[in-house]
Structures are given as C-alpha cells and as structure tokens.
Amino acid sequence: MKRRRGFALLAGVWLMVAIAAVGLEVSWLARTRRLIVANALDQTRARAAATAGLEHARARLVGALAPARDDALADPWRWISGADSADLGVAQYAFGWRDDAAALDVNRADEPMLARLFQACGADAMEGTQAAQRIADWRDGDRLRRAHGMERDDYLALGARVLPPDAPVRAVAELDDVADLPVRAWACVRPLLEVGGAGLVNPNTAPAEVLAALPGFTTTTAHAVVQARQAGASVRSFPELLAALPPALRGDVGRRSADLQDLLVYQTGAVRVTSVARVPGSPVQVRAEALVRRNGGTVFVEWQEFR
C-alpha cells in the first residue's frame, strides 16, 4: 500500500513537472511568435519610412529644377543641400546623397584606374597594382589568374569562407573579402567606389583621390583641380578643365584627351540617394539606396534597393 502511495506521489510530481515544462514551451513559443510578428511589423514600418526618405529626396531634386531657380540653371543639383531627416512617429528616416560622378564604379574602372586610386589613398605602386589585379580577378568571368591576382583555387587553399563570384560586383561591401588588400588604403578607397553607376567622373564634385585615378592625372593634378574648384572655378568642358590647370600640368592631361572625354561629365545629372530608417525602441533598421537621374526637366528613379 505504501509503495502504491509513493508511486502515485512520484507520478504526480512528474506530471506537474511535465505540465510546467509544456507551459514553459508554450510560453516560449508564444513569446517567440510575438517577437517575430513585432519584428515583421517594425520591418514594414522601417521600409515604408526608408521609402519616404527616398521620395523626400526626389521631391527636393524635382524642386531644384523649377524654372524660378535662375541662379542654378547651369547645374541645379550641384548646389542644393543633400541631407535631411524626419520623424514620422512610428519611424524615423534620414537621407543623404552625392553626385554619382563623384566616385568610381568598380565594375567600369579598369585596372590602371583602380591601381592609381589605391596609390592616391596611400598605397605604394606594388600594393596598388596587386589590389587592382585582385579586384579584377574577383569580378571577371574567368579563372585566369593575373600576375599579382588571386582566383578561386587560391582562396580555397587559404581556407577562405567566401570565394570570388567571377561576376560583376553587386555591392562594394563584398570586396571586403578580397585577399590582402592594403588595410589603410582600402579604408580610404572603399567609400570612393560604387556599383550601378554610369562610370563617369565629374571634376566639379569628385574628391582628389578619384580625380587622381583618371588617365593622365597625378595627385598633383588632382589637387590643382580641387584647389581651383575651392577658389570658385566651375568647368563646363574639357578645354575649361585644361585652362583651370597650371600650364606645367596640362601636357599629360591633354595627351589623354581622347580617353578622358569618354570618362568626364561636367554637370550633376545623377545622384545616389541613401535613406536609413529606424523604429524607436527597436533594433530594426532598413537602408534604401536609389539612383535618381534627370533628363531635361524630368526626374526619374533608375533603380532602388533595400538592405
């Protein structure tokens, strides 16, 4: 009889433990589902806010083309403020933009341009050549290794977690996985690269490092252009660009005129807009990017993406 009572008591205890465990499991599942739903809702709010930021920027760009703005008709997008923010209550966004032609498109820039960009950012000639060839091997569609490059087999031998896609770069961030880029120079080069652009450079807006990557340019030439710009010069053609340079610096640039005229643009015809949205009290953040172009008085979004 005592054994039966002891067994019944033990069974009751285990039953209570089992019920408690099931209760905890149900509670955990319910909490997890609530978090999933809450995060999904926050994600939707943040995406909508990021989209609103893009539209805010586009509206400002459209407004800059208004006929009344006679002071900026030559290049209306160069002079307007490219940053703002708004609080929508359930979400907040902040946007900014830059001239698309103020950076190099990594898929369009050739190896010498990439090498010169690294050198302008502090790499020596060998480091610049190696970095350029490794990026070229990363983005091209073959398995042929350049003299100082690396292909898929080399990354496998290193035990790399990410292998070259042998395809055009989809986001500059993926180049963080290219082997042995010079660290300090890469920190400088990274924000000067982009994807999805026209591959043109505007001497009125591009930083000195980007200008130094152009054929016929040196670091000295690039800084001369920037100094002329800071003094109020605005070039509208290749002859005006040459005229803005000291005579001693015009020779090399003039000799590469055929190459440069295919690479240069003198107005801000496309801007890259970035809109970042957050939901107060939530870890959720959405980043939206768009390329906005103008054609005469028409403004259109060429592409946009969310991350």
Q: 284 with 39: CB under 8 angstroms? A: yes
- One DSSP character per residue, 1-58 reads -HHHHHHHHHHHHHHHHHHHHHHHHHHHHHHHHHHHHHHHHHHHHHHHHHHHHHHHHH
Mean pLDDT of all residues in 30-41 = 66
Distance CA 42, CA 279 (A): 6
**What span, in angstroms and rounded, lies between the C-alpha atoms of 145 and 100?**
31
pLDDT above 70 coverage of the chain, percent: 85
pLDDT tens, position by position, 170-186: 999 999 999 999 999 99
| 233 pLDDT tier (thresholds 50, 70, 90) | confident
| Arithmetic mean of pLDDT over the chain | 89
* pLDDT for 70: 47
- Domains of the chain from N-terminus onward: 2-102+268-306 (3.30.1300.30), 107-186 (1.10.40.60), 204-261 (no CATH)
One-letter identity of residue 54: L
The set of residues, in sequence order, having a beta carbon less than 8 Å from that of 302 and lying 6+ positions away, is 270, 290, 291, 292, 293
* pLDDT for the residue 71: 46
User: What's the rounded mean pLDDT across residues 101-123?
Assistant: 97
> What contacts 138, CB < 8 A, 6 or more positions away?
164, 165, 166, 169, 175, 178
pLDDT at 19 over 70: no
Beta bridge partners of 278: 92, 285
Helix, strand, coil shares of the chain, percent, nearest 5, are 50, 15, 35
Q: Which amino acid is at 292?
A: V
Mean pLDDT value of segment 208-224: 97
